[in-house]
Amino acid sequence: MKAVKLPLEKEEKYMETKKATITRKEDSALLVLENLSINQTIILTEDNPNNVKDVFNNLLKDLKKGVFEFELQDGTEDMYHAICTEYLIQLNSELAIIFQEMEEYELTENSEYGGDLEEDFPDDFDDDDDDEFDI
């Protein structure tokens, strides 16, 4: 009787859920992305695309360690809550897609190559989809 090799089941990936909160001040509001190597803050009350770009680039560095998504923890139903909810839906989707691409190109810490994101995604990394993350 000939032995038959069965294909190995694909390793199931665990998606970590990280916390997102809204900090409301008298003259500003901030979306705070927590449980990262460094918490990231997006200023909601300013039109500052460089702030969003910097946060996104830092998220890419954390994404190298494994896939994650954000969940908004906020009890106030206002305009900022609605904006952040929609933003996080888009961000989570984008992070999942990028993580798959990073795995495909072996840029995650678990890959054979484990590429250096400083080199692979420089600080001035700019994709054509910046407008999707404008708040």
Q: What is the DSSP code string of the chain?
A: ----PPPPPPPPPPPEEEEEEEEE-SS-EEEEE-SSSS-EEEETTS--HHHHHHHHHHHHHHHTT--EEEEE-----SHHHHHHHHHHHHHHHHHHHHHHHHHHTT-STTSSS---HHHHS-TT---TTGGGG--
Average pLDDT over the chain, rounded to an integer = 84
Instruction: Please tell me the predicted confidence (pLDDT) of residue 85.
Output: 98
Q: How confident is the model at residue 110 (pLDDT cuts 50, 70, 90)?
A: confident
Q: What is the mean pLDDT of residues 45-64?
A: 96
Q: How confident is the model at residue 5 (pLDDT cuts 50, 70, 90)?
A: very low
| Confidence check: pLDDT of 92 > 70 | yes
Instruction: Please tell me the predicted confidence (pLDDT) of residue 111.
Output: 72
Instruction: Please tell me the predicted confidence (pLDDT) of residue 115.
Output: 53
The pTM of the whole model exceeds 0.85: no
Q: What is the mean pLDDT of residues 63-91?
A: 97
Instruction: Please tell me the predicted confidence (pLDDT) of residue 7.
Output: 44
| Confidence check: pLDDT of 59 > 50 | yes
pLDDT: which is higher, 7 or 68: 68
